[in-house]
Amino acid sequence: MWTASDLRMNRHDRLAFSLEEYRRRYDKVLHGMRETGIEVLLVRTPENICYLTGYETPGYYGYHCLIVALDQDPVLVVRRSEETNAWEFSWLAETQPILDFEEPLAVMIATLERRGLADARLGIEETAWFTPIAEYKALTAALPDATLLDGSGIVEEARVVKSAEEIALMRRCARMLDEGIAAGVGMVREGVDENEIAAEIHRVLVGLGSEYPGLPHFVLAGDRTALTHGTWRGQRVGRGDPVYFELSATQHRYSAAIMLTTSVGEPKDARVRHFAEAALAGLQATKDAIRPGVPCEEPDRAMHAAWEKHGLGDRHFNRAAYSIGLCFPPDWGEGQILSLRRGESRLLETNMTFHIISCSWIYRELGVGFSATVRVTEDGCEDFSDFPRELHIL
C-alpha cells in the first residue's frame, strides 16, 4: 500500500516544517481518502495545499489544484508565474504549469489523463470557495468515465488537531503578538489617531518577522469601536474613549490572534467597564470549560452564562471561539472547520487550537472585547499569550 514514505520529496532549508511532519499529514489525508472510497483528491483550497506541501502564495486567485492520488506522487497544477513558489516553499517534486493563454481546467484534465487518472473515483472539494459550479459541471462533462465524489473535509479533518511543530510555530507567533499589542497599547493617549497606533503595530510586528495576516489588524477608537471588523480611519482618541484592538501575528501562514480594549482614563461611558467585566468573565469561563472529551458547545454555554450573569445575555450573540492555525486571506481563523458554538457536539481533543472571542457592541455607541488563542491540553487549556487581559486604563 502506497504511503507518504514512498513520496519523492525535495528537502531544503526553506521548508516551514520537517519532511517527517509533511509525511505525517500526507498519510492522514491518504487514510481519509481510503475511508471515503476516493482514489484521487483534487485539492483546491489554498490552506489545504499549503498544509500538505508547504506551497504558498498571495496569488492564489490564479488557478491552482493539487492532484493527490492513492498510488503516485502528487502534482500541483498551477499558473506558470506561480511555479517558483512551489520550488521555494514546498517539497513537491512535480508541477504542471499553466500558461496565461491556456484554459486552466483543460490543463488539469489533461494532467489527469496523462497520469491515468481520468476514470478514477475523484474527490472534489465541493464546499471550497475555489470549486465553482461551472467547474464541477465541466469536470462532469469532460470525464464521463470518472466517478465524482465529495472530498470536502478530508484535509480539514487532518488540520484540526495540531502537531508539536505546528504548536511551536503558533507559540512563536503569540510571542511576537505580545510585543505587537504592547506597542499598540503603548501608543494610546489623548489626541493620537487610529492611523498612528496602527502604523506602530505594523512596524513592530513586521520588524519581528510577522508576515501578511489573514485579516487586517483592527484598531478602533471611540464610537467606532462598535464596528465589526473595522480598520483604522484616522479617528482621534479623546479623554475617556475606549480603544479596541484585534490583531494577529503570522509566520508560514500560521497565526495567533488577540483582542483587547483600553481606555484613555476612566471611560466616560460607564457601560464600557460593565461590558468589559462581562467580557473578561466570559473569556475566563470559556477557558475553564475547555478540556478533552467536552462537547464543543459546552464552553460556548459557559461564555454565554457569564454574560447573562452580568445582565448582558441579550448583548452576547456570537460563537465563543473558532479553530485557528493555518490561514490565507480573507480569514485568520479556521472556523469553517470547527467552532465552539451552540449545537456543536464534536468532542474537544488535545492539541486543538482556538481563538476565544468574548465581545459585544452597541452600534455607534461602544464596543468591548477580549480574546485568547489557546491550545487544548490534557486537562484544560494553554493560553499562548502572556499579555494581561484586562481593561487597560491609560
Q: Using one digit for the tens of pLDDT, what is the confidence trace for 81-136?
A: 999 999 999 999 999 999 999 999 999 999 999 999 999 999 999 999 999 999 99
Express each pLDDT in 269-289 by its tens digit: 999 999 999 999 999 999 999
Q: Which helix (H) or strand (E) holds 28?
A: helix 19-36
The whole-number pLDDT of residue 226 equals: 96
Q: Kindly indicate the confidence band of residue 38, based on its pLDDT and cuts at 50, 70 and 90.
A: very high
Distance, in Å, from the CA atom of 346 to the CA atom of 343, rounded to the nearest integer, reads 9
The DSSP bridge partners found for residue 321 are: 340, 356
Q: What is the dihedral of CA 335, 340, 344, 345, to 10 degrees?
A: 120
Predicted local confidence at residue 2, as pLDDT: 87
Q: What are phi and psi of 99, to 5 degrees?
A: -80, 155
Contact 79, 64 (CB under 8 A): yes
Q: Is the pLDDT of residue 261 over 90?
A: yes
Q: pTM for this one?
A: 0.97
- Neighbouring-strand partners of residue 347: 295
Can you say whether residue 131 is alpha, beta or left, with left for phi > 0 and alpha for psi between -120 and 50 degrees?
Answer: beta
> From CA 364, how far away is CA 237, in angstroms rounded?
15
- What does pLDDT average to over the chain? 97
Return the top range by mean pLDDT from 3-7, 131-135, 354-358: 354-358
CB distance 394 to 189 below 8 Å: yes
As a whole number, mean pLDDT of residues 316-336 equals: 96
Q: Give residue-wise pLDDT tens across range 53-85.
A: 999 999 999 999 999 999 999 999 999 999 999
What CA–CA distances, in Å, run from 113 to 105, 107, 120, 145?
Answer: 12, 10, 10, 11
Query: Rounded to an integer, what distance in angstroms lies between the CA atom of residue 204 and that of residue 210?
Result: 9
Q: What is the mean pLDDT of residues 245-262?
A: 98
Q: How far is CA 91 from CA 18, 74, 168, 197, 251, in A?
A: 10, 11, 21, 39, 18
Q: Residues of 371-383 as b/e, b for ≥16 C-beta within 10 angstroms?
A: bbbbbbeeeebbb
User: For the residues of 286-330, what is the DSSP string, one character each?
Assistant: HHHH--TTSBTHHHHHHHHHHHHHTT-GGG--S-SEEEBSB--TT
Q: What are phi and psi of 317, to 5 degrees?
A: -140, 10
List beta partners, residue 368: 360
Q: DSSP secondary-structure letter at 222?
A: G
368-385 average pLDDT score? 98
CA dist., res. 59 & res. 79, Å (int): 9
Any idea which residue has 454555554 for its cell? 301
Cβ atoms of residues 124 and 43 within 8 Å: no
Question: Strands, E, within the chain: which ranges?
Answer: 40-43, 64-69, 72-79, 95-98, 121-124, 147-150, 218-221, 242-251, 254-263, 321-323, 339-340, 353-362, 366-376, 381-383, 392-393
Residue 374: pLDDT over 90? yes
Residue 235 banded pLDDT, cuts 50, 70, 90: very high
Rg (CA), the chain: 23
